[in-house]
């Protein structure tokens, strides 16, 4: 009797072991399948403006596995799913990339062309049976009709923790913004993990509102000189693979200096990290040949530094005389981790609002802050430290309305330019 019970107990034990091993094996298989689906899924999807925003848009994304048949599918939007009968397929250009932590990844991009102005489109990216969601965007009008855009200064640090809410509050404040403008130092270093935080913080906003961006010093490569690390003139290669930006600027500054005309505004985007003097030659040509009503210049290093102990002659000396001469309306910058909005300035002096002149802005969206620089306080209409901000700029027929908001959505600063 005892032996029989013992045998049955052994059999029960063996069967439990078999079931346990089977379950373990199935769970490993499931994990492998989930991982492989995840690493095959398109991520870091972003829309960028091209130099022809009423007829084109650029789309960029990446996967952790290689898919040579990656493509974009797009169609004009419809109220139901019938747009799927009119889908156009565009094969993606692939760029292989090695991340800072030694992972091989695959970036894809394509420019959608021959679009209709002021029209809603849907697109998705992917391959085989693995696709992103359908995302909707609107092309620019080919007429100078009013629009608004978002301007966001340095996110840079603790992006997931602290910048996510700033990007999202910006979207809540202006969900119909036509474009997002970032003025550099998106990430404090170009590690894959920080890029991941940046794209997670932007989420679907980056997939539905096109961005134009300029790199800051922190998107340039660190090199060791005399035993010390310093920022080189080399734009980190992670910049060009993550974004597809216009290439109509100086040759040396592919996708970091360029211009875009959007419904009566010429946006001149510069890489202020090096050779600004050389870029100024190109800037003058772009300003000479400009029939837009408004001109906005955007770059990283400010004309009037707001950060304690700083004074950026590197941008002021070559660029400010051109801004005066050609009547640039607004200059948007970052870098100083503080806020400063000037009065109207011409020739380095404050002028009446009705005179020809330029307004200079430094802003910051992330949590890193510097003490305020008193050097240019007499030129400033509003300054602040220790406040994370975003800006909504309304371009209207004869007026440009600027509003800066705190991270918690309160109006912080406002002014108007009229023409
Ligand atoms: Fe910065
Ligand atoms: Fe910076």
Place of tokens 């102005």: 117
pLDDT of 150 above 70: yes
pLDDT of 241 above 70: yes
Q: Same domain, yes or no, for 242 and 340?
A: yes
Q: Same domain, yes or no, for 363 and 292?
A: yes
Residues 6+ apart with CB under 8 A from 8: none
Q: Among residues 85, 110, 138, which one ends one of the domains?
A: 138
Q: Same domain, yes or no, for 284 and 392?
A: yes
Q: Same domain, yes or no, for 151 and 126?
A: no
Percent of the chain predicted with pLDDT > 90: 88
pLDDT of 296 above 50: yes
pLDDT of 3 above 50: no
When divided into structural domains, the chain yields a total of: 2
Ligand 2 centre and the CA of 188: distance in Å? 9
Query: Would you say 106 and 97 are in contact if contact means Cβ atoms under 8 Å apart?
Result: yes
Q: Same domain, yes or no, for 158 and 206?
A: yes
The CATH number given to whatever domain includes residue 66 is: 2.60.40.380
Q: Same domain, yes or no, for 75 and 164?
A: no
The pair of three-digit structure tokens given for residue 184, joined into one six-digit string: 């550099």
Ligand 1 centre and the CA of 301: distance in Å? 9
Query: Would residue 201 count as lying in a domain?
Result: yes
Place of tokens 């346990």: 20
Q: Same domain, yes or no, for 163 and 250?
A: yes
Query: Would residue 222 count as lying in a domain?
Result: yes
The pair of three-digit structure tokens given for residue 152, joined into one six-digit string: 């966001």
The pair of three-digit structure tokens given for residue 393, joined into one six-digit string: 């700029």
Ligand 2 centre and the CA of 337: distance in Å? 8
Q: Supply the pLDDT for residue 37.
A: 57
Say how far apart CA 138 and CA 53 lie, in whole Å: 10
Better pLDDT: 14 or 320: 320
Q: Supply the pLDDT for residue 102.
A: 96
Q: Same domain, yes or no, for 134 and 153?
A: no
Query: Would residue 26 count as lying in a domain?
Result: no
Tens digits of residue pLDDT in 51-75 = 999 999 999 999 999 999 999 999 9
Neighbours of ion ligand 2 (CB under 5 A): 185, 216-217, 335
Ligand index nearest the alpha carbon of residue 155: 1
Identify which of 415, 377, 379 has the alpha carbon closest to the alpha carbon of residue 399.
Answer: 415
Lowest mean per-residue pLDDT among 35-39, 150-154, 186-190, 344-348: 35-39
Ligand 2 centre and the CA of 9: distance in Å? 70
Ligand 1 centre and the CA of 337: distance in Å? 6
Query: Would residue 18 count as lying in a domain?
Result: no
Is residue 26 very low, low, confident or very high in pLDDT (cuts 50, 70, 90)?
Answer: low
Ligand 1 centre and the CA of 328: distance in Å? 24
Q: Supply the pLDDT for residue 14.
A: 67
How many other CB atoms are there within 10 angstroms of residue 391's CB atom?
26
Bridging pattern class, strands 265-269 and 258-262: antiparallel
Ligand 2 centre and the CA of 78: distance in Å? 43
How many other CB atoms are there within 10 angstroms of residue 366's CB atom?
25
Is residue 12 very low, low, confident or very high in pLDDT (cuts 50, 70, 90)?
Answer: low
Ligand 2 centre and the CA of 384: distance in Å? 18
Per-chain mean pLDDT for the chain? 93
Say how many Å lie between the first and final Cα of the chain, rounded: 104
Ligand 2 centre and the CA of 233: distance in Å? 14
Ligand 1 centre and the CA of 172: distance in Å? 25
Query: Would residue 234 count as lying in a domain?
Result: yes
Q: Same domain, yes or no, for 370 and 282?
A: yes
Domain that holds residue 227: 147-418
Q: Supply the pLDDT for residue 39.
A: 80
Say how far apart CA 54 and CA 48 lie, in whole Å: 13
Ligand 1 centre and the CA of 385: distance in Å? 14
Q: Same domain, yes or no, for 124 and 152?
A: no
Q: Same domain, yes or no, for 188 and 311?
A: yes
Tens digits of residue pLDDT in 361-381 = 999 999 999 999 999 999 999
The pair of three-digit structure tokens given for residue 166, joined into one six-digit string: 């700033």
Query: Would you say 29 and 238 are in contact if contact means Cβ atoms under 8 Å apart?
Result: no
Say how far apart CA 37 and CA 128 lie, in whole Å: 12
Ligand 2 centre and the CA of 385: distance in Å? 16
Q: Among residues 106, 138, 170, which one ends one of the domains?
A: 138
Identify which of 334, 405, 393, 328 has the alpha carbon closest to the alpha carbon of residue 150.
Answer: 393
pLDDT of 17 above 70: no
pLDDT of 168 above 70: yes
User: Which run of H or of E encompasses 208?
Assistant: helix 192-208
Ligand 1 centre and the CA of 268: distance in Å? 20
Q: Supply the pLDDT for residue 2.
A: 46
Lowest mean per-residue pLDDT among 19-28, 92-101, 225-234, 390-399: 19-28
Say how far apart CA 401 and CA 359 lie, in whole Å: 12
Q: Among residues 138, 157, 187, which one ends one of the domains?
A: 138
Q: Same domain, yes or no, for 130 and 157?
A: no
Query: Would residue 95 count as lying in a domain?
Result: yes
The CATH number given to whatever domain includes residue 210 is: 3.60.21.10
Question: Average of pLDDT values for 385-401?
Answer: 97
pLDDT of 1 above 50: no
Query: Would residue 6 count as lying in a domain?
Result: no
Query: Would residue 106 count as lying in a domain?
Result: yes
Neighbours of ion ligand 1 (CB under 5 A): 154, 156, 185
Ligand 1 centre and the CA of 1: distance in Å? 80
Ligand index nearest the alpha carbon of residue 215: 2
The pair of three-digit structure tokens given for residue 48, joined into one six-digit string: 């960028």
Question: Average of pLDDT values for 274-301?
Answer: 97
Phi-psi region of 46 (alpha: psi -120 to 50; beta: other; left: phi over 0): beta
């Amino acid at each position: 009797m005892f032996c029989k019970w013992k045998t049955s107990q052994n059999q029960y034990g063996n069967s439990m072991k078999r079931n346990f091993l089977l379950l373990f094996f199935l769970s490993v298989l499931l994990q492998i399948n989930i991982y492989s689906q995840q690493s095959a899924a398109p991520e870091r999807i972003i829309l960028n403006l091209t130099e022809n925003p009423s007829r084109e848009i650029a789309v960029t994304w990446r996967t952790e596995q290689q898919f040579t048949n990656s493509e974009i599918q797009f169609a004009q939007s419809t109220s139901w799913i019938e747009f799927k009968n009119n889908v156009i397929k565009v094969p993606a250009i692939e760029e292989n990339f090695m991340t800072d932590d030694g992972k091989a990844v695959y970036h894809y991009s394509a420019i959608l062309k021959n679009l209709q102005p002021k029209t809603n489109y849907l697109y998705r990216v992917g391959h085989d049976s693995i696709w992103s969601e359908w995302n909707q965007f609107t092309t620019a009008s080919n007429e100078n009709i009013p629009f608004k855009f978002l301007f966001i200064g340095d996110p840079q640090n603790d992006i997931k923790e602290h910048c996510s809410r700033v990007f999202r509050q910006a979207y809540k404040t202006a969900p119909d913004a036509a474009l997002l403008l970032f003025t550099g130092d998106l990430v404090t270093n170009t590690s894959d993990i920080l890029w991941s935080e940046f794209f997670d913080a932007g989420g679907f906003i980056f997939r539905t509102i096109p961005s134009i961006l300029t790199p800051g010093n922190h998107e340039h490569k660190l090199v060791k000189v005399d035993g010390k690390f310093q920022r080189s003139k080399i734009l980190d290669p992670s910049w060009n693979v993550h974004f597809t930006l216009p290439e109509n600027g100086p040759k040396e500054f592919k996708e970091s200096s360029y211009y875009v005309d959007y419904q009566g505004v010429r946006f001149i985007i510069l890489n202020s990290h090096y050779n600004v003097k050389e870029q100024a030659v190109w800037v003058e040509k772009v300003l000479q040949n400009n029939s837009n009503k408004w001109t906005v210049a955007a770059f990283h290093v400010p004309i009037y530094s707001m950060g304690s102990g700083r004074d950026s002659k590197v941008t002021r000396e070559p660029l400010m005389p051109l801004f005066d001469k050609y009547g640039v309306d607004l200059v948007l910058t970052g870098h100083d981790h503080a806020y400063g909005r000037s009065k109207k300035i011409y020739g380095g002096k404050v002028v009446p609002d009705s005179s020809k002149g330029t307004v200079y802005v430094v802003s910051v969206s992330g949590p890193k802050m510097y003490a305020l620089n008193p050097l240019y306080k007499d030129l400033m209409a509003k300054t602040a430290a220790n406040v994370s901000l975003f800006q909504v700029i309304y371009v209207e027929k004869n007026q440009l309305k600027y509003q800066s908001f705190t991270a918690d959505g309160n109006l912080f600063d406002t002014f108007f330019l009229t023409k």
